[in-house]
Structure 1
Amino acid sequence: MSIINIRKCNKHKTVLQICMEYNTLLTPFCHRLGERGGSSLSLCSLMFDSNIVITSMVDDKGIKMVHRIETIVNDLSKRILTYRRDFHRYAETGWIEVRTASLIARRLDQLGYEVRVGASVLKASERMGLPDPETLEMHYLRALEQGADPEYAELVKNGFTAVVGIIKNGDGPVRAARFDIDAVQVQESNDPGHFPFTEGFASVNPNMMHACGHDAHAAIGLGVAETLATLKHELHGTVKLIFQPAEEGVRGAKAMAASGIVDDVDYMIGGHIGIVPHACGKVSFRLAGFLATTKIDVYYEGKSSHAAGAPERGKNALLAAVTATANIHSISAHSKGKSMVNVGCLNAGTGRNVIPATAFMSLETRGSTSEINEYVKERVLRIVDAAAKMYEVQKKIVFMGASETAVGNQDFIEYAEKIVAENRHIKAIVSEPILLAGSEDYTYFMKAVQRRGGKALFMLYGTDMKETHHNSAFDIDERSLPIAVTTISWLLLSLNNGMRTVV
């Protein structure tokens, strides 16, 4: 993996002087959150590459602004940590993030943001994978018991857990940053070596855990909100902070994008913590692309009958599902890129002497492009239909989630790399594209912005992890939180005049 080592161009200082200065400023910043068994982040560990130079786009005024942001975030670091641990303790999965969304909305309100929630920023008909009404109501009541804001909880219940905070100051570009807030269906580890457990903030909600870092994303988003509120008079234009529900299973972004909330956005930023290994202080804007995907549930309904006494009267839903599964896994690969399909769950039948009347299949398709994913999906649907006709059963198809492929704008990526290099807490910028094996529904925001002439990118902010994402012992290095807040806040403010001159 190639790394761009940040080499500051300053005719008045040697590289060593700059390095020593940055390390002096960085050390208390990192230690403010406390050490957790690792060495402190230090810019003195950098090996400066004389062949790679990131030319500064920032004048003295801009550099002073970066320093102000660093000071503000340094003062906020304990609060950001508190946000993260609170969200982690009360983890909520997709569409039931009532407590999380209500508290985010209330804090944005307190900070002076224009707050939009629920149906005003989310098109109800485009929601996918929504829990049943009883489940939604149960988790709404639980959220109230666990400290949700009652006023905002009422507005985001029943699967409307989307929040947007808007801050404006005069004329200028419209910018947006997206932060996903949902947890994963994982039971959190109670191993003594698991930091959230030993520190008392492991999830109290069964089979719900922030095992993908979205608690950190929500905390980073609020940290950015606090920073921009403090610097509101330095802002030119508008910033929208988008807190998205139901990213897991790629279910939530499509509905928010369809509401039109990003239709006026000139610059869009998304991101994810982790991915870059052993990487507290590293960032990357260069991704090899997300896989397009479709998540599908299939229900077959036939007719039960005695398997020996009257088999001809039955309509076998199990055989329809098995036939469909075998043929789905025989779909030809595509010559123009990677394609995948997987039937991950198959349930049917009630007894050995009963013709199965019902069957359920849960499957997904993926493609390296949206076109390839569509190719696989169309063939899946054709096979599902043919199997139903073959065994004379009824079928029901439910689309549970989806995302497209999208690529960040190259000029925006190059701009971001130059801007972020001014953040003294960035250890390195990864220059080689990182291949992501999964999907991200942030791509709906990207494409909505790009279709209207705007620019978008997706960044990875590194952290050190003991276990991989979606593992019951997943955790992050909390020192990465203020680094991400500083980076995103600075990038948003730097766009006061678009991608021309900074601040």
Structure 2
Amino acid sequence: MEINHSIEQKIIAYRRHFHANPELGWLEYSTAAFIAEELLNLGFEVKRGHEVMQVDNLMGLPAEQDNQLAFEKAEKIFGPEKMQAFANNSTAVAGILNCGEGPRVAIRVDMDALPITESNSRDHFPNQAGFASESRGIMHACGHDAHMAIGLGLAHYLAKYASQLKGNYILLFQPAEEGVRGAASIVKSGFLKDVDYLLAAHLWSNMPLSKVVCSQNGTAATDKLDVTFYGKAAHAGICPEKGNNAILAAANTILGLHEIQFTGEGLRRVNVGRIEGGTARNIIADGAKLEIELRADSQTGENELLEKLESIVKASAHKQGCSFEIKKVGEASAACGDNSLAIQIRDEAMNMNYFTDVILSDKQNRGSEDFTSLMKDLQARGGKASFIGVGASMYGKNLEHHTPDFDIAEAALNPTVALFFNLIKRLSRSHL
């Protein structure tokens, strides 16, 4: 790909704009509207909201007050008419470029930020360069700002060189990746049902610059669950026996979950990340809630964990005479990329002057990723998919994701765009 320095600077500007203006999952109203405007200006057909996703039964929705504030903020910037399609958490947006007969290729881009307060250290590059988060308590701490910049940078190159391509190209900007909530809505909509190839890239702050993993296959299946116990209040000093202690039910569940003995090979993870319950120290608690996640490196292992959780919750509630509710607020599949597609990605990466450490595939544990649900759904219909990992460490620093001082090297942005574009050209030629 011929480097266009004007587009390269736009990519960096996009990244800094998104970093300064982060929005949480299902609240990406201003982000989605901004992306839609950019895609329209580049000549893409733009699909919004319910045209891309199924809007019923979304998982892990934010509080209504937070939703209203975020939507009203976006309305003031973009106007009610442009925001109408994104209302009620319908924040997916896609750009489609039709270049005639050929492959249908989709690139998935995640959009949401995290509830983290960004570092105010002078050594933190976004502070030095003046693009740190302007929303207190919210931060792009996983690289989604960079991913969106890469997506829009790719849009510029696709639009500029459309005459050289054959096929149909979709840039899919997905909401609510954190908590693995958003992909399910797109799977249910069938928006990608005719796609031949599906790709996504993740920049890693703890992976060296110029390294690329063409197929990351270590992402775990996961379930995010809210478990609520319903008990009966009573005076803790006079007649505790007349109550049903929801906190005790929750506590026994925590102990039971963390005492699970894993059998067989593979990764298994159980964590209770948050507990709340009760009203006062002298009242038997009539309510308690646990926020839990399960992970396993196979769907079979994940299903086993879920069965064990349900059994432990039921037994703990029964012991205290409580009722309970288990609500799923996020989920993702375990999936592996297609080796034949990974080989093509490897070949293109090796043809570039930038990447010096090219890995075909690995199974390193990098947590869970919403993209796998899209991948698995597409593969079940005969399509091919791959999840690419790109090194973006800052000057050799291994900054961890989901932390206040997270940052990525902007030097990784344009090469990732180039890798996508070169692969698209390769796929386009293969169908001639």
- TM-score of the superposition, structure 2-length normalised? 0.95
1:233–1:87 CA distance, 2 compared to 1 (3 A): same
Counterpart position of 1:452: 381
Separation of aligned partners in 1, 2:328 and 2:264:
26
Counterpart position of 2:118: 188
Residues 1:163 and 2:100 are matched in the alignment = no
Aligned pairs for 1:338-487 (under 5 A) are 338-431=267-360, 433=362, 435-465=364-394, 466=397, 467-487=399-419
1:474–1:97 CA distance, 2 compared to 1 (3 A): same
Q: Single out whichever of 151-160 and 232-241 deviates more from structure 2.
A: 151-160
**Over aligned residue pairs, what C-alpha RMSD do you find?**
1.7
Instruction: Structure 1: give runs of 5+ residues left out of the alignment.
Output: 1-68
Secondary structure at 2:335 match in 1: coil
Q: Does the aligned pair in 2 maintain the 1:276–1:460 contact within 8 Å?
A: no
Q: Does the aligned pair in 1 maintain the 2:117–2:137 contact within 8 Å?
A: yes
Q: Residue type of the partner of 2:30?
A: R
Q: How many residues in Structure 1 have an aligned counterpart in Structure 2?
A: 429
Secondary structure at 2:2 match in 1: helix
Secondary structure at 2:3 match in 1: helix
The Cα shift of 1:108 comes to 0.8
Q: Does the aligned pair in 2 maintain the 1:173–1:497 contact within 8 Å?
A: no
Could you list the per-position Cα deviations for residues 405-435 of structure 1 after superposition, in whole angstroms to 9, with x for gaps in the alignment?
A: 1001111111111122222333331346250
Instruction: Structure 2: give runs of 5+ residues left out of the alignment.
Output: none
Counterpart position of 2:239: 310
Give the counterpart of 1:220 among 150, 164, 172: 150
Larger Rg: 1 or 2?
A: 1
The Cα shift of 1:396 comes to 2.0
Q: Which runs of 4+ in 1 moved over 3 A?
A: 147-152
Separation of aligned partners in 2, 1:118 and 1:288:
30
Give the counterpart of 1:82 among 13, 16, 19: 13
Separation of aligned partners in 2, 1:166 and 1:432:
29
1:395–1:432 CA distance, 2 compared to 1 (3 A): closer
1:452–1:431 CA distance, 2 compared to 1 (3 A): closer
The Cα shift of 1:373 comes to 0.6
Secondary structure at 2:351 match in 1: coil
Secondary structure at 2:106 match in 1: strand
The Cα shift of 1:150 comes to 4.6
Counterpart position of 1:268: 198
Could you list the per-position Cα deviations for residues 303-354 of structure 1 after superposition, in whole angstroms to 9, with x for gaps in the alignment?
A: 1111122222211111111111111222231314221211121222222221
Separation of aligned partners in 2, 1:212 and 1:165:
23
Q: Aligned residues: percent identity? A: 38
Separation of aligned partners in 2, 1:331 and 1:247:
28
Q: Residue type of the partner of 2:111?
A: I
Counterpart position of 2:181: 251
Separation of aligned partners in 2, 1:80 and 1:218:
9
Secondary structure at 1:386 match in 2: helix
Counterpart position of 2:164: 234
Q: Does the aligned pair in 2 maintain the 1:136–1:157 contact within 8 Å?
A: no
Separation of aligned partners in 2, 1:463 and 1:154:
37
Q: Residue type of the partner of 1:299?
A: T
Give the counterpart of 2:53 among 122, 125, 128: 122
Q: Does the aligned pair in 2 maintain the 1:98–1:148 contact within 8 Å?
A: no
Q: Does the aligned pair in 1 maintain the 2:344–2:423 contact within 8 Å?
A: no
Q: Does the aligned pair in 2 maintain the 1:106–1:152 contact within 8 Å?
A: no
The Cα shift of 1:491 comes to 1.0
Separation of aligned partners in 2, 1:225 and 1:431:
26
Q: Does the aligned pair in 1 maintain the 2:392–2:412 contact within 8 Å?
A: yes
Q: Does the aligned pair in 2 maintain the 1:169–1:232 contact within 8 Å?
A: yes
Counterpart position of 2:138: 208
Q: Single out whichever of 390-399 and 480-489 deviates more from structure 2.
A: 390-399
Secondary structure at 1:479 match in 2: helix
